[in-house]
Structure 1
């Protein structure tokens, strides 16, 4: 028994003796790393390489830690809450205000609101954006929300497909935005009529209120410029990431990643509001992009100045 107890005691001493140096070594390494980063004061740690790509010699880039903390911290949390609150706000608005009806009812007569080429550009952009938005959100929130639901195999396949679609659909998306910008920019210049529209809340908060508006009202102009500016930010930052190191260094790519993530989340929130108004939020609104024809009563209530111009031109042609 004495021999057994002696052997056990010796084993414990050896274990403690082996753990203590390992812990001390780890603590020393952490202290050395912290001291090194403090000494460098944010400068990257680089060595020498024999290949043409000198960037491969960078071993440590301290700014990368700040970039990751920002992306995984405030950008992800604030962006996630923005999307949640947007959906909640739209649901609450629908519950309180209800669907915006055509006050005088549908007349049964229609006028052309958008031509075929305009609807093509809109739906090209819209379909691409939905896929880009879903695949982009999957990068930020997929591991937390989707992976536990569908499992690793399905999530891997979905993410791989999302990556490919995200890259290739960016080109028709940019084309669609460009076409809409060219066709509609003249109708989206802010003017004094927009101020009155805003003062009256666009007529969406009170029944029976129909502020005058041209082809696009102030709310639609806000959507238009948000899409144009947001898409520009997404395109520039996205192509910098798609073709790395062609125009910038690693710090520039990290900035592009932040811009791409923030612009993408804000764009998704804006488009959620646009989709709501264009579908369940307003009676008759979907027809504008569905068939290109809208009821004359809808046009007179929501775009009275435009409806008057179209009617006048039509009478002149007759």
Structure 2
């Protein structure tokens, strides 16, 4: 066989095989490229879906234990934090500065409520020793919670920028520690206060008139010298009591929820407790400022009631006439020796 014939035969057999192999490799390469592109696209779509789910607060899988351990981002927690920063924190500032400033202005314009007939010198028993103890334990614990709570809520805005890191760390740690340990003392004294004094705080029709004439504390205009009827507790004191009773309950329950990690509450419940705690604190702070102003500076002779348990007879007649008439009639009027 000639060499030329062999070459022709080889070419006729091999060349088609080479062409087929080339086509096969090209098809495989194109298919591989297509598959890789699809995998990359799928991976990008998968990552996007993953992070979209994470931001939406969806729960994933984790070996960690605890409530909502599989949730990386809690939407409710973020929304609650925004509500606290945008609304509750400014509201607390208004409660502290606004209410205090308003009563300071009122004091300089109106002055205190003086006793019309002056001091009689006769002291009438108004509060028992047990009442005084309950009052001052409640008052001191409440003030402790207020000052530490204000630092926790507002300190980062009004103190932290002006003190060193070490000083601020000590202040915020001390505030948190005192707040946690004083809380139970407040709760116990609050319970005793509500149980013991509730019978004296029932609302009466004459309480409405007390509000209409601002309790007789106005020293000018048509309200000057108007001293409305009042029983053992006047309408303002009743309002303060029921505010403390209702929001004291809210602040106590929410506080327990916040300081006991063993409860393992869902994030939603914890955030709700934090917001309720903050709102209740704002209301109690505002009423506490009012109560302190009314009981001390604005009412001549009023502070003596909670110092000794006795009040001047003229003070009793002027501010709590119905109560004075009652104890005088039933024979329970008791003077200080």
Shorter chain as denominator, the TM-score bin is 0.7 to 0.9
CA distance in 2, matches of 1:316, 1:85: 41
| Partners of 1:42 and 1:148 in 2: CA distance | 32
1:233 is matched with which residue: 239, 246, 250?
Answer: 250
Question: Structure 1 length as normaliser, TM-score?
Answer: 0.84
CA–CA distance in 2 between the matches of 1:234 and 1:309?
36
Taking the aligned partners of 2:251 and 2:307, their CA distance within structure 1 comes to 27
- Aligned match for 1:84, one of 87, 97, 102: 97
Aligned residues of 2:67 and 2:266 also touching (Cα < 8 A): no
**Which one of the candidate residues 292, 305, 314 is aligned to 1:275?**
292
- CA drift of 1:125 comes to 0.6
CA distance in 2, matches of 1:88, 1:36: 52
Of residues 282, 291, 315 in structure 1, which corresponds to 2:308? 291
Further displaced range: 129-138 or 194-203? 194-203
Q: CA RMSD in A?
A: 2.3
Q: Please list the CA deviations of residues 230-278 of structure 1 after superposition, one character each: whole Å capped at 9, or x if unmatched.
A: 1101011111111136273111100110111111111111100000111
* Closer, same or farther: CA 42–103 of 1 in aligned 2, 3 Å: farther
Q: Which residue of 1 aligns with 2:14?
A: none
Displacement of 1:140 in angstroms is 1.2
Matched, 1:256 2:269: no
Alignment partner, residue 265 of structure 1: 282
Consecutive unaligned residues in structure 1, runs of 5 or more: 1-28
TM score, norm. by length of structure 2: 0.79
Of the three residues 215, 225, 236, the one matched with 1:208 is: 225
- Kept in 2: contact 1:188–1:216 (CA 8 A): yes
Q: Cα–Cα, structure 1 residues 54 and 91, in superposed 2: closer, same or farther, change >3 Å? A: closer
C-alpha distance in 2, partners of 1:272/1:77?
A: 17
> Which stretch shows the higher mean deviation, 62-71 or 298-307?
62-71
| Alignment deviations for residues 190-247 of structure 1 (CA, whole Å, 9 cap, x no partner) | 1112122222221112331111110001110000000111110101111111113627
In structure 1, C-alpha distance between the alignment counterparts of 2:278 and 2:205, rounded to whole Å: 34
Question: Structure 1 residues 273, 54: closer, same or farther in 2, change over 3 A?
Answer: closer
Structure-1 residue corresponding to 2:4: none
**Secondary structure of residue in 1 paired with 2:72:** strand
Larger radius of gyration: 2
Is contact 2:66-2:264 (8 Å) kept?
Answer: no
Alignment match, 2:122: 109
Aligned in 2, Cα 1:144/1:297: closer, same or farther, shift over 3 Å? same
Instruction: Report the counterpart of residue 302 of structure 1 in structure 2.
Output: 319
Q: Which residue is 2:240 aligned to?
A: 223
Q: Are residues 114 and 53 of structure 1, via their aligned partners in 2, closer, same or farther at CA, if it must alter by over 3 Å? A: same
Deviation at 1:43, TM superposition (A): 4.4
* Contact map agreement 1:111 1:296 (CA 8 A) in 2: yes
SS in 2 for 1:294: strand
How many aligned residue pairs are there?
Answer: 286
